[in-house]
């Protein structure tokens, strides 16, 4: 049963969470994701879930930790500075192997920055953010439709791997209204058995949710187990899109809202006879390295476009591994690149 509605990305994400069976949301107001918090306040009430406007982003992630430890699907959301606050909690949840979904609608930074869109939290999301050796799955939707669908996916991935999953958006995607189809999962939200959850030790031994592991050598063993899990995720959960890459001379690389702009630039370039393609990573971690193999031959050029000083470009360089040249074009502090700007940059690459 498909239901076409007009929603902003924030709300589309919220509806995805509700239909995924999210029963706990805690958040703190911060622009540009307030529509999501307000939407969850309304929908959690309607679906017998729990909504708490927490006293801080720190309290919110810790409430999510508790709800998740108790076996319930839980989510929090914020924007860049608030996500910085959540890093300790995210590290703990990764160490405790607790599932949860965290939504970051990026804004200009560093510091308080501004409320315009940005992609300056890529490093924070995929390289760590919190302390210790862990990874979180990072999904990068590029439309309200994808916010809805990837939020459904995020809850399943979180439960499947017992790991935090982040949905990395930005202020543009969060607040822009778009039509989308709301299609609930056919047989309802997927249910995962959680024998490890804290439900009260009835008829079983006590369950302990912990990340402190002091016994000699035990923490290293635990880390090896986590790394095995991350390896598995890298094998099985990579997602990305390629457009016109095979016959291209220049390949644009972008994610999220920038990918939509870059796609427009690609079409403008093609109309001018320039053979331009696009690689759009959807999972930023695990990064879709293999998508670059076909295009990474000598003579080809990559142009990575981001709303940052250049963060994903480093992972592109790693994936390309010296086989082709990788260039970068970026806007910072809330600046949004236009299709024309990107096209100009592409044309310049042909002149060299």
Partner 1 sequence: MKKTIKKTPMVKAQSSSVVTVGSEPIFTRPESLREAENHYCAGCGHGIVHRLICEAIDDFKIREKVIAVAPVGCAVIAYEYWDFDVAEAPHGRTPAVATGIKRVRPGNIVFTYQGDGDLAAIGTAEIIHAANRGENITVIFVNNGVYGMTGGQMAPTTLAGQKTSTTIHGRSLRREGYPIKMLEMLAVLPGAKYLERVSVHSSHEVLRAKRAIRKAFQMQIENKGFSMVEVLSMCPTYWGMPPIQAADRIKSEVSTFYPLGVIKSC
Query: Where does this chain bind partner 1 (CB under 8 A)?
Result: 23-24, 26, 50, 52, 54-56, 58-60, 62-72, 74, 88-89, 92, 96, 198-203, 206-212, 214
State the nearest-atom distance from the C-beta of 133 to partner 1, in Å. 18
36 vs 60, beta carbon nearer partner 1: 60
Cβ proximity to partner 1: between 208 and 352 the closer is 208
Question: Interior CA angle at 78 toward 312 and 158, to 5°?
Answer: 70
d(CA 246, CA 295): 7
Q: How far is the CB of 214 from partner 1 (least distance, A)?
A: 8
Q: Which is nearer to partner 1, 55 or 340 (CB)?
A: 55
Output the smallest distance, CB 288 to partner 1, in A.
Answer: 33
Instruction: Name the nearest CA neighbour of 133 among 99, 91, 166, 98.
Output: 91
Burial class (CB within 10 angstroms; exposed 0-12, middle 13-18, buried 19+) of 124: buried
| Least Cβ distance, residue 115 to partner 1 (angstroms) | 24
Measured CA to CA, the distance from residue 188 to residue 218 in angstroms comes to 39
Minimum CB separation of residue 135 from partner 1 in Å reads 19
Closest to partner 1 by CB, 18 or 74: 74
To partner 1, the closest distance from the beta carbon of 59 in angstroms equals 4
| Per-position DSSP letters for 259-292, written without gaps between them | HHHHHHHHHHHHHTT--EEEEEESEEES--GGGG
- The C-alpha angle 51, 73, 60, rounded to 5 degrees, equals 45
Sign of CA dihedral 247, 251, 256, 258: negative
Residue closer to partner 1 (CB basis): 110 or 132: 132
Q: Is residue 338 helix, strand or coil?
A: coil
**Choice between 51 and 350, CB closer to partner 1:** 51
């Amino acid at each position: 049963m498909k239901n076409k509605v007009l929603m902003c990305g924030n709300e589309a994400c919220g509806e995805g969470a509700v239909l995924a069976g999210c029963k706990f949301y805690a958040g703190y107001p911060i622009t540009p994701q307030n529509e999501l918090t307000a939407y969850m306040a309304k929908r959690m009430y309607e679906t017998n879930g729990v909504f708490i406007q927490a006293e801080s982003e720190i309290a919110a992630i810790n409430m999510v930790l508790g709800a998740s430890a108790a076996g319930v699907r839980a989510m929090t959301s914020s924007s860049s500075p608030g996500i910085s606050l959540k890093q300790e909690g995210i590290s703990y949840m990764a160490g405790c192997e607790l599932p949860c979904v965290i939504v970051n609608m990026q804004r200009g930074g560093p510091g308080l920055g501004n409320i315009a869109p940005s992609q300056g939290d890529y490093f924070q999301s995929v390289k760590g953010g919190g302390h210790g050796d862990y990874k979180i799955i990072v999904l990068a939707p590029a439309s309200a439709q994808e916010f809805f669908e990837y939020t459904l996916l995020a809850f399943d991935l979180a439960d499947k791997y017992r790991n935090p999953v982040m949905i990395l958006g930005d202020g543009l995607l969060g607040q822009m209204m778009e039509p989308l189809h709301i299609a609930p999962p056919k047989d309802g939200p997927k249910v995962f058995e959680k024998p490890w959850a804290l439900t009260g030790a009835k008829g079983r031994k006590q369950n302990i949710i912990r990340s402190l592991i002091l016994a000699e050598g035990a923490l290293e063993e635990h880390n090896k187990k986590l790394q095995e899990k991350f390896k598995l995720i890298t094998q099985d959960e990579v997602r990305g899109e390629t457009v016109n890459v095979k016959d291209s001379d220049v390949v644009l690389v972008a994610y999220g809202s920038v990918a939509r702009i870059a796609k427009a630039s690609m079409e403008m370039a093609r109309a001018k006879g320039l053979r331009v393609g696009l690689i759009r990573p959807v999972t930023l971690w695990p990064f879709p390295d293999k998508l670059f193999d076909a295009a990474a031959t000598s003579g080809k050029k990559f142009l990575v476009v981001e709303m940052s000083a250049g963060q994903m470009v480093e992972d592109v360089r790693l994936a390309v591994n010296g086989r082709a040249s990788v260039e970068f074009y970026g806007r910072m502090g809330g600046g949004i690149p236009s299709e024309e700007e990107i096209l100009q940059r592409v044309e310049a690459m042909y002149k060299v």
